[in-house]
Copies of this chain bind each other. A is one copy, B any other.
Amino acid sequence: MIDFEFCVPTKIYFGKEKENEIGKILSSYDAHKVLIIIGQGSVKKSGLLTKVITNLEEEKIIYRVIEGVRANPTLEFVNEANKIAKEFHPDYLLAIGGGSVIDTAKSMAASYYYDGDPFDFNSHKAKPNKTLPIGVILTISAAGSEMSTSCVIQNDAKNEKKGFNSPLIRPVFAIENPELTYTVSPYQTACGIVDIMMHTIERYFQPSGNNEPADRFAEGLLKSVIKAGQKVMRNPSDYEARSVLMLMSSLSHNGLTNIGKPFMMPVHQLEHALSGLYPSIAHGAGLAVLWPAWAKYYLEYDVDKFDMFAKNVWDSNIPNKLDNGRQGIKMLEEFFRYIGMPSRLMEFNVGRIDIDRLVELFTDKGTRVVAHQVKPMDGEVAREIFKSCL
């Protein structure tokens, strides 16, 4: 086990109709002036926003709403939203939505007390040292941003999608009512399932030495999500399955499944290049195509771990470890297909895939290599992987 610090103070309020407590909850955190951030309008259509506003008014909380965060949220939007924030002077941000809305709130929280370009945090040119507190009402089970320290923003002008981490942007609380996700489309639900699984699978495939518990937690989480994923595809209003997805979204990305282990996410880096260049590609769908390609490339460099993955997650027990590892990847691919995910880049409706540009983005113009215990992931490796899933 490596030396580490672990602290996850986000408070989860989980259960039916918990969103109706938002006013009281915000008051308990001494919030008086709340800037609400929402996406493309679904929380208005569903009536959730009206409920929240009524609730805030009952508590005499002053509020303002910023609307229009898109998937793969943009720096441009953050800049516009920041102007409103600096005029409104909120003491709390309330993100109602999924990862894109929460990450927008995180970027705003960090840049509220910073005069430079908000993307400086994502480019690792600056670190936040003071932030606005964030609360969340979660409406999509996917990114885990509600309990994580990470914030990924898209710079459309440069086709760059980059993340940064800081404990100061971790939400203070998250309200999780699984019923709010009943209306998420099958495709978006599937993208979320992939994202939840990938946060854990990427951690799982980091070299772990003898780190038993982190790997066992990861396997348990994956088995639960696979089962819930199958159920929710048959019945989108399965409360228990939606509950598992919602809670595992939070626990998959909060550090639990890599506790005492190093933490890297190479396939997320590949995907950030992909949806950075083609913003219409949903993050989860991109991961669903890229991970199996990454796994097939790295299988031979980490046979034991792939064998363990096949055994403990997919109950596959082929005696030859390489074959068993391959079978585990195959079973994951089949699961992804079952929930309606693509398996080739060509399935995305984005024209010709520009592999040179993808490699350039992945390697930050040839300056970056992602570490690996045996085979570091440089531009050539990335090129092979992109090519193999065209």
Contacts and interface: CB of A to CB of B under 8 A. Distances in A.
Contact of A243 (B1, B216, B217, B248): B1
Given A212-B228, A240-B210, A5 B11 contact: yes
Contacts of A256: 256
A157 interface: no
A14 B3 contact: yes
A259 interface: yes
A220 B222 CA distance: 12
B15 A4 contact: yes
Nearest to A178: B1
A219 interface: yes
Interface in A6-43: 6-16, 18
B16 A5 contact: no
Interface in A168-225: 178, 209-210, 212-213, 215-217, 219-221, 223-224
A247 B223 contact: no
A8 B8 CA distance: 6
A163 interface: no
A220 B224 contact: no
A227 interface: yes
A213 B244 contact: yes
A2 interface: yes
A256 B178 CA distance: 19
Contacts of A223: 212, 216
Contact of A12 (B5, B13, B14, B240): B5
A221 B213 contact: yes
A126 to B, nearest CB: 22
A14 B5 CA distance: 6
A345 to B, nearest CB: 32
A243 B211 CA distance: 9
B10 A7 contact: yes
Nearest to A213: B224
Contacts of A259: 247
Contacts of A213: 220-221, 224, 244, 247-248, 251
A18 B3 contact: yes
B7 A9 contact: yes
Contacts of A13: 5
A316 to B, nearest CB: 16
Given A5-B14, A260-B247, A216 B212 contact: no
Nearest to A240: B210
A149 to B, nearest CB: 13
A240 B1 contact: yes
Interface of A: 1-16, 18, 178, 209-210, 212-213, 215-217, 219-221, 223-224, 227-228, 239-240, 243-244, 247-248, 251, 256, 259-260
Given A1-B240, A243-B260, 11 more contacts: A2-B15, A5-B11, A5-B12, A5-B13, A5-B14, A7-B10, A7-B11, A209-B240, A213-B220, A219-B220, A247-B260
9 contacts: A3-B14, A4-B12, A4-B15, A213-B244, A213-B247, A216-B219, A217-B220, A247-B259, A247-B260
